[in-house]
Structure 1
Amino acid sequence: MEARHLRYALALAEHQHFGRAATSLGIAQPPLSTQIAALEREVGERLFDRTSRGVFPTAAGEAFLARARTALAEMNRARIDAGRAARGETGRLRLGFIGSALLDPLPGVIGRFRRTHPEVRLSLQELDSSAASAALLAGELDVAVGRGSPRGAGVEDLVSVPIGEDHLVAVVSVVHPFAGRPSVAAAQLAGEPLVVSPDAANSYLRRLFGADPAVLDGAALARDIHTIAGLAACCAGVGLGPNRMRMIARKDIWFCDVEPRFRLPDLQMSFRVTDSSPVLTAFLSVVRRNCASVGTRLDALLARHPAATERQPGLGAS
């Protein structure tokens, strides 16, 4: 039994005449009669009464037709669902990110993705950069956004693209001696209690205090940029973080540039090179439209990873 047999039976029930039903189906009458007879043999029941007044469903036919309508409707929904899944309109995306990415650029990316793909289940988890990389490598995330390139065994299986540049700033209470200054020297920071993220303390800030790395040993650790700003407001220390922290709206803190300007590792978006998920393709398309210059860099990276090149045509879709 095929879908066309169900359509034939429904058309015959609607038109109550073999000729009219055949015309509506775009086939000749004899093949329709043959197919209906074959369907009745397969079902093992007479589905239609052939009378001089027309062709009418029997009781068995009515029961069959009710199920046929449901079956065809389900088949149509299955076709639609398959197409939507293939276009990345349904499914799941697991995204891990560091907190500062929620200031920029993730609000624009996530907001647009939510609007254009409302039926994708978006799982969001704040993680530090090393934890996000580990979760991505373990298959627990589909996309990770962290500071700097992922590290660890298996990173050769990831694609990473920069999605944001930034530099270091200091944040202090408005009653701190640094308040009101446009900038503060790195050497001056060495004599202050500091508030930093664990990621920063264990990696790139070591370069800032290269002459005296012990400066960081007593620093207060706060994973979230809002916590860094909050502790600075409490005079717990000088907070150090990305310039995008200036987007935090508080009247009790003051931001200073760090001199000489200290560029932070780029925000990097990473995903597995072998991940051919249509949902990931759709997400990358949104990233390309929202993050300046990411598109060409992402295409260039994918070009060097043959396993992912089949994804490229979908990335440029608008």
Structure 2
Amino acid sequence: MLLLHRRYRLLIVNVVYWFLLLYIIAELVWWFIALGRQNEKMAGFELARIRSSLDSASAPGSFNTAVRAVHEQAHMQNMGYIGEGGVFLIVLLLGAFYVYRFVRREMRLSGQQQNFMMAVTHELKTPIAVAKLSLETLARRKLGEEQQAKLIQSALSETERLNQLSTNILLAAQLEEGRYTQILEAVSLSDLVTRSVESFSGRFPGRLQGTHITPDLDIKGDPLLLELAVNNLIENALKYSPKDSPVQVTLSAEGHRAVVFRVADQGAGIPEEEKSMIFRKFYRVGNEQTRTTKGTGLGLYLSRAIVRKHRGQLSVTDNHPRGSIFSITFYI
């Protein structure tokens, strides 16, 4: 229902916009025609005056010169009208183009923000409900140590989800407004990726397979931002691929000047026309009423912003036979 209302509103805006634009162009054309007719009448009046004051038979030279001057004046005025009208039309069309693009972009952003708010609501409610249920169960029942450990681990896992969500939202705002102070220091990327893999292996047993991390790969960067970028890519791969499919994480050196971090999944893949759009803020395929996979549309946006701050490159390619490969290249 919300999607239909948004499309209806967009249709109304488009109809009103094009009606007003066509009306202004029609008025401009009518203004040009009216000025042309007025110019012809003025030229006719001037020719009539010349004919009444000059005798073409007795003074043909003066008469012809005066007539020619009237025609030249009328032609110059017509050319002036064409020039003024042409400039006005070009300015009008350029302004209309930029206004149309701006309005479309704002409406698209508004829709994405609405989707984001709905996604954040869903993302907040689920871990809060799970953590609350786990804690209430621990408080009301006497359970064995193994059951208590499972409930505590479940509550901690959901709390970590909440923490990552709040970090993503806060960091996105800080990066966009330029308020985040980046801390550059020597970071062991091998240790950082190893910790992330161990954390996700505990939350998703058996999913991370074929992991290969080259030891002693160091870069200069912000450890908090780098960890967030790595976690976002791994979590996306686990989230957007089937629960029984493996996800492969690799970290390796390419020559002496680059370190490459890759996450390969066997999900549905990303259409070619959307590979550039997935890095936009709030962008998600589909809408929140039909989409089953949880998310806010901030993960890839943040990852690209973080990689750019470290003068690296984030790219996505197709995995074979299916899925996607996200790669971060850090230049050292």
| Global fold match (TM > 0.5) | no
TM norm structure 2: 0.24
The structure richer in strand per residue is 1
Select the structure of larger CA radius of gyration: 2
Q: Which has the higher contact order (CA 8 A, sep 6+)?
A: 1
